[in-house]
Amino acid sequence: MWKPAQRIKWQSSPGRLPDTDEIARSTLFSPLERGRLKLRNRTWVPAMVPWRATEDGFVTTENLDWYGRFARGKPAALVIEATGIRDVPSGPLLRIGHDRFIPGLEKLVERIRDESGGETRVFIQLIDFLAIRRRPDRDKFLSRFLDVTADIREALDMTDADESSVREHLCSLPDESLEGILDERQWESMTRGYRERVTDMHLPHVRELPTVLPDLFADAARRAETAGMHGVELHYAHAYTMASFLSGTNTRDDGYGGSREHRVRLPLEVFRTVRDAVSDDFVVGARFLAEECVEDGSPLPDVAWFATEFARAGMDFLSLSRGGKFDDAKQPRVGQAAYPYTGPSGYECMPQYLSDEFGPFGRNFSATALVRRTIREAGFTTPVIGAGGVHNFETAEGMLNNGVADVVAAARQSLADPDWFLKLETGHADAVRTCEYTNYCEGLDQKHKQVTCQLWDRDDLDEPGLSMSRDGRRRLVAPSWKRSD
């Protein structure tokens, strides 16, 4: 992962430990009831892909154990990982693009209900993504996959030559010459792997996204409701299709790109179709980026305006994330696909302890606060979910009391200690295991390996019935909290 040049070492800390009186008076542990969103307190575990589904997207026992373990810590809300809405293969990520996935998801909901004693609301994050391919071997690309266009022939002065001679010649050229001959996308396909964009209007299935996506999302939401989920989170963040529609880089010329009014159009159409497809008390919110953190990304005033439009349309919550784009991702190795969390914007999404002068904690707070303030000034009370490096009570409570957010989401801290909210709530703040923001978990995610935390994955390995990772070295869920009272 990319790291800021300063490489200042930041250390997470448990902060000031609250006593039971302070917890009882706290905003963090006060209920939130706003519209359809009813939470027992302000604690939230955001989506985290654990790479535990079957290759064809079904829920496994390992998924049940993973989400069950978070539920045992009784967060007010638990968001199931980014789950594919299409009926197409996507590796060991959960899928919801067909009714055959419903029984597995039903089991997931039951497990979360059982483990949390019914205290945790279950939401599932619905995602659509475009095609991406692995970086090819240079010679294989030039001799087999590249479309030998008239422009290439002209640039080589080989208009009448047979195709195999053109390919042979291309293979013999050094990169410096080749870069001047291939167009930008061909060069990208060779050096980083082919990747579709929402602006690829020459591709019929990309042009038709505004026609097909609303129903795909709506069908997925209906299945989520059938499976017993309390709601869905529309994934409008990071590097994926819907975020690309909102992005300042979206230049589509069909009324779904360009101005902010056009960029927000499909996200609103998707929301309205989803809303109409589910029951009146089913929660529908969205996760989107307060800041894209890439060149030409949407400016913050546009994002605040999107948020206001989402609130006006009746979304039940707005969850704000940051960065995580393909635009500045690291060049992948041959045979690997580009990964959106490897560049500076990826760092902004999941900053680690080696950081710059701003540090890895709360990098999204000021942008989130501005978005929230804008919605409030427009007269909407829609709850805002804030995240980013939250790992202790002081910060979480401060976020709520200083107008950053209405609900506190903690991803890595909840992975480091799935009981941490419960420990705070029950007066055991001193027992919280604090995340060190090493991003060992994120490294596993990047390699599509089962995600675990280095603070516990080698502990108590002789525990009876323990599930281990495929490499046989790591336990897959955190050990149980051995309460002292």
Residues that bind ligand FMN (CB under 6 A): 46-49, 81-82, 125, 237, 287, 321, 349-350, 387-390, 410-413, 441-442, 445, 451
Q: Taking CB under 6 A as the rule, does residue 440 contact ligand SF4?
A: yes
Instruction: Give the other-Cβ count within 10 Å of 110's Cβ.
Output: 15
Residue 458 CB partners (closer than 8 Å, separation 6+):
473, 474, 475
Q: Which of 70, 80, 129, 75 is nearest to 105 (CA)?
A: 80
For residues 396 and 78, give the distance between their C-alpha atoms in angstroms, rounded to a whole number. Answer: 17
First to last CA, the chain: 42
Residue 49 interacts, among ligand FMN, ligand SF4, none and using kind-specific CB cut-offs from 5 to 8 Å, with ligand FMN
| Nearer to ligand SF4 among residue 2 and residue 380 (C-beta) | 2
In whole angstroms, how close is the CB of 96 to ligand FMN at the nearest point? 13
Q: Taking CB under 6 A as the rule, does residue 478 contact ligand SF4?
A: no
Q: Taking CB under 6 A as the rule, does residue 70 contact ligand SF4?
A: no
Residue 80 interacts, among ligand FMN, ligand SF4, none and using kind-specific CB cut-offs from 5 to 8 Å, with none
Residue from 72, 111, 195, 412 binding ligand SF4 (CB under 6 A): 412
> Residue type at 326?
F
CA 283 vs CA 128, 221, 287, 357: distances in Å: 19, 10, 13, 39
Q: Taking CB under 6 A as the rule, does residue 349 contact ligand SF4?
A: no
> Residue type at 67?
Y
In whole angstroms, how close is the CB of 436 to ligand SF4 at the nearest point? 4
Residue from 76, 294, 407, 415 binding ligand SF4 (CB under 6 A): 415
| Nearer to ligand FMN among residue 112 and residue 411 (C-beta) | 411
| Nearer to ligand SF4 among residue 189 and residue 414 (C-beta) | 414
DSSP per-residue codes, 241-294: HHHHHHSTT---SSSSSSSHHHHTHHHHHHHHHHHHHS-TTSEEEEEEEEE--S
| Nearer to ligand FMN among residue 82 and residue 455 (C-beta) | 82
Residue with tokens 């597995």: 104
Radius of gyration of the chain (CA): 23
The total number of residues shown for the chain amounts to 485
- Give, for 473, the enclosing helix (H) or strand (E): none
| Nearer to ligand SF4 among residue 231 and residue 418 (C-beta) | 418
Residue 438 interacts, among ligand SF4, ligand FMN, none and using kind-specific CB cut-offs from 5 to 8 Å, with ligand SF4
| Nearer to ligand FMN among residue 193 and residue 388 (C-beta) | 388
In whole angstroms, how close is the CB of 415 to ligand SF4 at the nearest point? 4
Residue 416 interacts, among ligand FMN, ligand SF4, none and using kind-specific CB cut-offs from 5 to 8 Å, with ligand SF4
3-class SS of residue 136:
coil
- Residue 229 burial (C-beta neighbours within 10 Å; 0-12, 13-18, 19+): buried
How many residues line the site for ligand SF4 (CB under 6 A)?
Answer: 13
Q: Taking CB under 6 A as the rule, does residue 390 contact ligand SF4?
A: no
| Nearer to ligand SF4 among residue 135 and residue 391 (C-beta) | 391
In whole angstroms, how close is the CB of 9 to ligand SF4 at the nearest point? 14
Residue 453 interacts, among ligand FMN, ligand SF4, none and using kind-specific CB cut-offs from 5 to 8 Å, with ligand SF4
Residue 417 interacts, among ligand FMN, ligand SF4, none and using kind-specific CB cut-offs from 5 to 8 Å, with none
Site for ligand SF4 in 92-151 (CB under 6 A): none
Residue from 152, 437, 450, 475 binding ligand SF4 (CB under 6 A): 437
Angle subtended at Cα 339 by Cα 335 and Cα 343, rounded to the nearest 5 degrees? 125
Instruction: Give the other-Cβ count within 10 Å of 112's Cβ.
Output: 25
3-class SS of residue 476:
coil
Residue from 27, 143, 251, 438 binding ligand SF4 (CB under 6 A): 438
Q: Taking CB under 6 A as the rule, does residue 58 contact ligand SF4?
A: no
Residue 167 interacts, among ligand SF4, ligand FMN, none and using kind-specific CB cut-offs from 5 to 8 Å, with none
In whole angstroms, how close is the CB of 346 to ligand FMN at the nearest point? 10
Instruction: Give the other-Cβ count within 10 Å of 462's Cβ.
Output: 5
Q: How far is CA 387 from the centre of its chain?
A: 12
- Give, for 68, the enclosing helix (H) or strand (E): helix 61-72
Using CB under 6 A as the criterion, which residues of the chain lie in contact with ligand SF4 when the complex forms? 412, 415-416, 435-441, 453-455
